[in-house]
Structure 1
């Protein structure tokens, strides 16, 4: 029996996605570890900053706050306040926008599942991205 390939990935080993705001790092994905059922990573968001509104037509998003105070708007409803230790499910197809309402940087972990049929179909922007020139490191094919 051969040893399994390593599946450990540090956030600093992957490119930051800053297109929609914040510092989003997809650490576990088909591209990084060859997974097939979803992808996940970490989000860092400076005080007062936000992640632009978008939705996922194929995936649920699971968000867990580690540090800071965040506010998630879902389909234009009253925002949901999120503090350290809080988790939130964003259902498939629900527009959402995340804002750091605190005075310190916020950190959260996320997971999306199942995967879209192709990476470029995974996110639909409903608000102009903050930095379209930043590119969009996708979850793509296995490394």
Structure 2
């Protein structure tokens, strides 16, 4: 059962980074942290040359906003270059992969909606980091 929504400030520093798929992913607002019922969101930092492995979300659209830096995102087979203040939507069920082609860190905000029926159904990996493929999935959203 999901906890009822609460009004609560969530600081990035409160949430452990998830590096399983590449980059520094932090789910800040989620069913686990604030009891959200329609989606979840957070931040992603990619160092120069760093990437997030290809994956898809079978139930959700993903909205990506670049705060600082550069991002190259491959959505299906299309490459899209984004810089600060650019955004893009990844449609439901479409493979995508993100890389920082720049020389400075890329900082992004993301949001996914709607929620999958269960957390483990929300993300399908189609690529794995060489040294992380056997790690268990993280508990999304930090401590509660």
TM, length-normalised to structure 1:
0.90
The answer to whether the 8 A contact 2:61-2:91 is kept is yes
Distance 2:16 2:70 in 1: 25
Q: Deviations over 1:25-71 (max 9, x none)?
A: 00000000111100000000000110000000000000000011110
- Matched residue of 1:120: which SS? helix
CA RMSD in angstroms, aligned pairs only? 1.8
Query: What CA distance in whole angstroms lies between the structure 2 residues aligned with 1:111 and 1:138?
Result: 17
TM-fit CA distance, 1:137: 2.5
Q: 1:49 to 1:34 in 2, by over 3 A?
A: same
CA–CA separation in structure 2 for the residues paired with 1:118 and 1:28: 16
2:75 counterpart of 1:71: no
Is structure 2 residue 19 aligned with structure 1 residue 31?
Answer: no
After TM superposition, the structure 1 = structure 2 runs for residues 49-68 of structure 1, keeping only pairs within 5 Å, are: 49-68=50-69
Question: Matches of 2:68 and 2:136 in 1, distance apart?
Answer: 27
How far did residue 139 of structure 1 move?
3.6
Task: Quote how far apart the aligned CAs of 1:12 are.
Answer: 1.1
Number of aligned residues: 138
- Matched residues in 1 for 2:48 and 2:27: separation? 21
Q: Find out whether 1:97 has 2:71 as its counterpart.
A: no
Tell me if structure 2 keeps the 8 A contact 1:54–1:123.
yes
Shift of 1:134: 5.0
2:14 paired with 1:13: yes
